[in-house]
Chains A and B, each alone.
Chain A
Amino acid sequence: MSTSIVNNLSHNKYYNWIVKNLFSSWVNSIFTIIALIFIYEVGSFFLNWAIFEADFRYNFQGELITDRILCSKNIVPGEYGACWAIIYVRWDQFMYGFYPVEELWRVNLTFALLPLAIIGVLFDKIPFRRYFIYFTFAYPFIAYFMLYGGPGLSTVGTNKWGGLLVTLFLGVTGIALAFPLSILLALGRRSKLPIIKSICVVFIEFIRGVPLITLLFTANVMLPLFLPEGVNPDNLLRALVAVTLFQAAYMAEAIRGGLQAIPRGQTEAAQSLGLSYWQTTRKIVLPQALKIAIPPIVNTCIGLFKDTSLVLIIGLFDLLGIGRAALADMTWTKLYYEVYVFISLIFFIFCFGMSRYSLYLEKKLKTDNS
């Protein structure tokens, strides 16, 4: 009887999986139990804090929370979890900064069009891809017109921008502008012309050797000194210059890796067919090199997206800057867990999404080659 149960069990794939992965030896079993207790403790604590015992908009007495004093945890200390009301109340600031309320539809429309603009670049097997790519090139102009204003739309200065808008603006624009620059840098670094090569090497290694914050400082303090009078880029533009140069140097190294992986025979064959340097580069080398370099390029993009948070140090209100401003407000101070967890979650969604995409590409490219 008992042996038949064991026999039955050992044919059960779930049973086998559990024994193999959780209880393969007595040491392993102890680890499993410790891990289960740990997961239960941390998980229940976090879920209770974030959801079950948390205030969302109303406290336990049913009052609308407009001040941290009204949070349930401040009325009955220690009994309640997070107070998400700060996110509700400041939602517009977290998303758009100080953008005028009546013009918010413009930002929303720009946000909504962003996926359409990048979908054509990300996936190659979608219908009407050509038109999506056309839209990708048109998008920066549309976004500029929608966000900043122009004929027919009132101007909204960049000093009113903030929150996720600034974070996405710096991330997306920085990556888009850095991409062509980084290709030139990568090609220049592999060039046979010693002067072009050394300029590119010095530029790349210099940017990669100093922290981004020093570049941001330099752009913020020194750009006005370098430029003629009357040309005075605003703070956001200065940060964008620094971020773009920074990203270009890192991306150039990723692309150089791709270029190095292309066998010499490819270039030589193209040249023997009579193609010029630029024809060879554009039609033979770059398409292959970029394909190989996409995963590391995406990694640098993740890095840049996280690094946009540094602009708060030069006084811009990106997502983290808005969060700190919210905490500096006396009505909401001390709710730092809520604010930082919320911002972390937003960054996590974007960065994790990008890293998943890079994994997906890696898998796809592998099957293409074999």
Chain B
Amino acid sequence: MSTNVFRRLLFDEKSRSLIVQAFVIGVFAVFIYLLVQQTAANLDKRGISSGFDFLSMSAGYDISIRLIPFTSEDTHLRAYFVGLLNTLMIAVCGCFLATILGFIVGVIRLSSNWLFRNIAYVYVEFTRNVPVLLQIVLYYSILLHLPKIKQAIVLFEGFYLTNRGLYSPLPIIKDGFSIVLASFVIAIILSIFIKKNLKRKQEQTGKQYPIFLINSALIIFTPIIFYYIMGMPIDFEIPVLKGFNFKGGMVVRPEFIGMLLGLSIYTAAFISETVRSGIISVSKGQREASQALGLKNNLVMRLIIIPQALRVIIPPLTSQYLNLTKNSSLGIAIGYADLVHGFGGISLNQTGRAIEIMLMVMVTYLTISLIISLFMNLYNKSVQFKGNA
């Protein structure tokens, strides 16, 4: 009798699934319990205290690459934010550069010129089949072996390339600049207004207006005119060689340039492939039909090909952005003070709070990943087919 009940329970799909899941939960709970207990015992034995109180303690180390002020007396929490900002800075700059480079290479890969096409192909194969860490380390080595400050390479007037980084003029903002900025914002708002108006007129009359030309002229020239009207409210502090170092100006460290080059050159190879497959995915008939309607080549590209290609490009592009952001954690190999190097490395060594710090770092990366996919999904929705679900 009892075996019968047992058999029925085991062969009934609903009860079996309940039994299996209860079993899994049980195993999981035991596993977690053992893990927590073991960890607590181990921590106790080694005399490691736990908790997040270390965040308010003084960090005791310096970070040379930073966007907000930081000294060694500041707290670990501030070190966390310095690292987070550095991670975000390299991720944003890297995504920007990689996208531009990737689109250019992707378009060249489809060029009708055999040689151009294959130069791009060789670039793609050589960069994506070599570890990004190796590339970062290589570019960084090259940067470190640039001439010393005394023999700096002069790129332009005021721009010096040395083994200590790129020295460039520092813009100093004087009063009156806010008006230039305001004129820029107003120009943008005005251009949106003009675009809407002219679009409507075009739809009514069929007459085409050079909207793009008008608006770009408006956006570019308005601030320039105001800049001169206000008496040029930006000064440039040009770096000057004094003794062993440059005085004034600003400097971009080789760690940052190395990371930027490595990440964007590597990721651009992958982006170029997604761009290429996106453009290929638009059927030939689309191009032929739009040419038959008398559209010029650049209009065919802008109005017909790219909007349709974007639909295919965006999802893989998102994952490339995510990869780049995660790869920015490799800064530790060359001493770029990102989240993993500064907070996850030096703070961890000083406080010994491995669990808390790794948890914070991982949760931060998860959050960044989530935010990127959220925004890209929103953008993706805006470029998808509308109304034919």
Contact = CB atoms under 8 A, between A and B. Distances in A.
30 contacts: A21-B113, A22-B114, A31-B111, A32-B115, A39-B119, A193-B20, A193-B21, A209-B369, A209-B370, A211-B326, A214-B340, A214-B358, A221-B348, A222-B355, A224-B42, A225-B39, A225-B42, A226-B42, A302-B129, A320-B131, A320-B137, A324-B137, A327-B141, A334-B145, A336-B141, A344-B134, A347-B131, A348-B126, A351-B130, A352-B125
Interface size class of B (residues with CB under 8 A): 35 or more
Interface in B343-387: 344, 348, 354-355, 358, 361-362, 365-366, 369-370
Contact of A347 (B28, B130, B330): B130
Interface in A310-344: 310, 312-313, 320, 324, 327, 334, 336, 340, 343-344
Contact of B326 (A210, A309, A320, A352): A210
A35 B113 contact: yes
B298 interface: no
Contacts of A193: 17, 20-21, 24
A312 B137 CA distance: 12
B25 interface: yes
Contact of A221 (B20, B340, B358, B369): B358
Interface residues of A, number: 53
Nearest to B42: A225
B277 interface: no
Given A193-B17, A210-B366, A35 B129 contact: no
A54 B61 CA distance: 44
Given A222-B358, A226-B35, A196 B137 contact: no
A39 B115 CA distance: 9
A171 B28 CA distance: 29
A28 B340 contact: no
A227 interface: yes
A312 B134 CA distance: 11
A322 to B, nearest CB: 12
B43 interface: yes
B138 A340 contact: yes
Given A24-B112, A227-B38, A306 B131 contact: yes
B333 interface: yes
A307 B129 CA distance: 11
Given A334-B145, A343-B134, A213 B330 contact: yes
B130 A313 contact: no
B332 interface: yes
A224 B333 CA distance: 24
Interface string A187-213: 000001111100100000010011111
Interface in B1-37: 17, 20-21, 24-25, 28, 35
B327 interface: yes
A224 B42 CA distance: 9
Contacts of A274: none
Nearest to A349: B129
Given A38-B119, A213-B340, A348 B129 contact: yes
A-B CB proximity, top 4 nearest: A21-B114, A35-B115, A351-B129, A211-B329
Nearest to A22: B114
Contacts of B130: 306, 344, 347-348, 351
A226 B113 contact: no
B333 A347 contact: no
Given A36-B115, A352-B125, 10 more contacts: A31-B115, A193-B17, A209-B370, A225-B355, A309-B133, A313-B332, A320-B133, A324-B137, A336-B145, A355-B129
B329 A213 contact: yes
Contacts of B43: 225
Interface string B133-162: 110011001100100000000000000000
B329 A340 contact: no
A348 B17 CA distance: 48
B114 A214 contact: no
Contacts of A227: 38
B132 interface: yes
B116 interface: yes
Interface of A: 21-22, 24, 28, 31-32, 35-36, 38-39, 192-196, 199, 206, 209-214, 217-218, 221-222, 224-229, 302, 306-307, 309-310, 312-313, 320, 324, 327, 334, 336, 340, 343-344, 347-348, 351-352, 355
A36 B116 CA distance: 9
A336 B365 CA distance: 32
A232 B328 CA distance: 31
Contacts of A217: 340, 344, 358
A358 B129 CA distance: 14
A162 B111 CA distance: 44
Contact of A340 (B20, B112, B141, B362): B141
Nearest to A213: B329
Contacts of B340: 211, 213-214, 217
A227 B35 CA distance: 7
Contacts of B17: 192-193
Contact of B24 (A195, A336, A348): A195
A309 B134 CA distance: 8
Contacts of B115: 22, 31-32, 35-36, 39
A29 to B, nearest CB: 9
A312 B358 CA distance: 19
Contacts of A309: 131, 133-134
A214 B129 contact: no
A344 B17 CA distance: 51
B25 A195 contact: yes
A203 to B, nearest CB: 11
Interface string B312-353: 000000000000001101101100000010001000100000
B129 A347 contact: yes
B358 A28 contact: no
Given A199-B28, A348-B129, A22 B134 contact: no
A214 B131 contact: no
Nearest to A167: B131
Given A22-B114, A32-B115, A310-B330, A225 B134 contact: no
A336 B140 CA distance: 10
Interface in B236-253: none
Contact of B129 (A22, A213, A310, A352): A352
Most chain B beta-carbon neighbours within 10 Å: one of A210, A306, A347: A210
